[in-house]
Amino acid sequence: MKTDSTKPQVPKPEDLASDEPYKIGLFGYGCVGQGLYHLIDQLKHAGAEVVRIGIKDGKKSRDLTADRFTLDKTQILNDPTIQLVVEVIDDAAEAYRIVREALIAGRKVVSANKKMLAENLPELISLQHDFGGTLLYEAAVCGSIPVIRTIEDYYADEPLIRLSGILNGSSNYILSKVFSEGVAYSEALQSAQQLGFAETDPTLDVGGFDARYKLCLLAAHAFGVLVKPEQVLSAGIHGLNNADLEFARSQDKQLRLVATAERVGTELALFVMPQLLDAHQLLRGVENEFNAVVIEGSFSGPQFYRGKGAGSHPTASAVWADVKAAARSFSYGYEKLKTTLLQGITNDLYLPVYLRANETIHRHLTWEQVEHRSIDTVQGIIGLKQLVAHQKLLQEQKVFVALNGNLLRKDPISGVLQAHQSEVAELIPVLKNNVV
């Protein structure tokens, strides 16, 4: 798309007559873009209208007339009548350029590109502050679950102990079909792609990267910690085979790809990996393309949120909720970034895991304890630092590793491994800082 440095005059809501529809410029007309367009088209009473759609391929056949589309992004970004920009494209680099330019112009923006957001969040927060624009991105995290808004509103003052969730609907759909219905992995993946849950290249989904981007966004809102995606362990399900499924069944456990943020003293531990879940764990019963999040506050205890996390309409509904919120001048407060006492991230945890790999991989890893070893599998305890240090190799070799128990820490004096548990007492200073 062409670009232009000319800064448009962005209208304010009061600049237009109250009976005129709220004008939206939309970038992207794929699964989510089409879902949003048709949702708005059906909600005639909502008072909104998509006036222009930015695309990159003018030759592709679409269900709207050609005059609704443009290859020139300045026709949206420089249009003074457009009140809000919505970005739902796959290209993270182009999404960044669009969102950055719109925020510098002081515009209201809604984005669903979790990769772009996670990689550039500190800058995007600063741009909102410096130029008076607004950026909302609920749809980038948990599909139809309003988790960011819930954290911003309900947990604004309460320190959180942990957050865990199934954040990728595509992987959860695949695991549900493979584990519960006995469908082959390749067949389940193909079905997810046909239903629009997974991309043609499913690497971001099954490799755990998509969930990692979402976890980084949640860390900022829930704990006030800004983290680069590459700092977070991402172990996916792309190496899953029948031996792993049989092991899970032998333990009477269910496999799910889970993203975890856990407070460790004055730091935060973050990782994405398959987990072997017991019957009492809330995430175990989440099936198919559904997402779910468990948020545990220091006083409120665990709260469970569940909703569809993949597909055109569930994601479009989250985008639409952001559109309406932005139209009412809602913006994120980022309260946790202002008040947190957390000093950054840590990998100083130890994980009981089931790991299957070849002998070359095993020679790279140092174990704290080994409980059982076979030709290609190990059940034991390994440091999170070990997995993070070797995660590129683990991804390349499609090593399957799954958490199989509770997190552990080393006693600083004795060096003995013991169950990790965040204490409410650690969190009280944070709460006092929030008292007005």
How many CB atoms within 10 Å of residue 130?
A: 11
Catalytic residues: 214
Q: Which of 201, 87, 98 is nearest to 140 (CA)?
A: 87
CB 192, CB 219: distance < 8 Å:
no
Concatenate the DSSP letters of all residues of 320-360 into one string: HHHHHHHHTT-----HHHHH-----B----EEEEEEE--HH
Cβ atoms within 10 A of the Cβ of 69, count?
18
Whether 270 and 219 have beta carbons less than 8 Å apart is answered as yes
- Cβ atoms within 10 Å of 134's Cβ, excluding its own: 20
Q: What is the DSSP string of 204-258?
A: HHHTSHHHHHHHHHHHHHHH-----GGGSEE--STT--HHHHHHHHHTT-EEEEE
- CA 273 to chain CA centroid, nearest Å: 14
Torsion angle, alpha carbons of 336, 341, 343, 344, to 10: -20
* Distance from C-alpha of 185 to C-alpha of 207, rounded to nearest angstrom: 14
Nearest CA-CA partner of 356 in 259, 197, 198, 243: 243
- Which residue shows structure tokens 């991402």? 234
Which residues are CB-contacts of 177 (< 8 A; sequence separation ≥ 6)?
183, 187, 188, 191
The C-alpha atoms of residue 407 and residue 419 are separated, in whole angstroms, by 6
User: If we measure between CA atoms, which residue out of 303, 299, 301, 128 comes closest to residue 220?
Assistant: 128
Strands, E assignment, 122-159: 134-136
Q: List the one residue out of 317, 316, 406 whose CA is nearest residue 28.
A: 316
Residue with tokens 């939309």: 26
**Contacts with 367 (C-beta within 8 Å, 6 or more apart), sequence order:** 378, 380, 381, 382
Q: For residue 122, how many other CB atoms are within 10 A of its CB? A: 13
